[in-house]
Amino acid sequence: CMKGTSMGNQRPADGVALALNPSHASKGKGQRLLVRNYMTPICEVPSTGPNATIVEAVATMKHQEVSKILVVQSGVAIGLLTLNCVLQEVIIAGRSKESPVKDIMVQDLHTIDCDSTHDDAVHLLHKKVVHCLVVSGEDGQCLGVVTSYDIARLDAKLLHVSITNASTCSVSHERSAHDREDYG
């Protein structure tokens, strides 16, 4: 499992084949990469309740090796606790580490629909200057999250696939030209 700043374990978002879903291809634009195909599912997202203490939440973050944790109440995402929140509020401002998470969490969550494109997610992260989007379904329920780390990892994988495909095409093209010279 790859861990780091993402909110969950690495999944088959190396399922680039899954992410490039032809059933969602738009006319004239080819295949679209959808958020639903590479998000971290909610069942894999580290979370805590709003009344958990900051120290309990940080222990969970440390154990999960993540830099942010979703704050959930009755199955609804209501906030996000980041290491930056802890740094600013506990270390710098001197708030008690026994304070509830709800006192320092980011409450302004940015959401994206699960059928939004990869480009939409990249644009929203950049526009809002955030590193995490909550992914919602048709009825507004939280299905998972997409982080800037998820996007960077997926973009690296897509680049690798593009380079590999370009190299294969180039070798195939050179071989065809060579074959014509020998037999033409």
Residue 166: band (very low, low, confident or very high) from pLDDT cuts 50, 70, 90: confident
Count of residues in the chain: 184
Q: What is the mean pLDDT of the chain?
A: 81
**For 6-15, 154-163, 172-181, which range has the lowest pLDDT when averaged over its residues?**
6-15
pLDDT at 112 over 70: yes
pLDDT digits 0-9 by tens, 21-49: 444 444 444 468 899 999 999 999 999 99
Enter the DSSP assignment of 101.
Answer: G
Average pLDDT over residues 51-57: 97
Residue 22 sits at the vertex; the CA angle it makes with 21 and 27, to the nearest 5 degrees, is: 125
Q: Which residues contact 114 (CB under 8 A, 6 or more apart)?
A: 34, 35, 36, 39, 135, 136, 137, 143, 144
CA distances from 176 to 42, 168, 183 (A): 49, 12, 11
Token pair of 33, please?
């990469």
119 vs 19: CA distance, rounded Å? 13
pLDDT digits 0-9 by tens, 139-149: 878 899 999 99
Strands 68-73 and 76-82: antiparallel
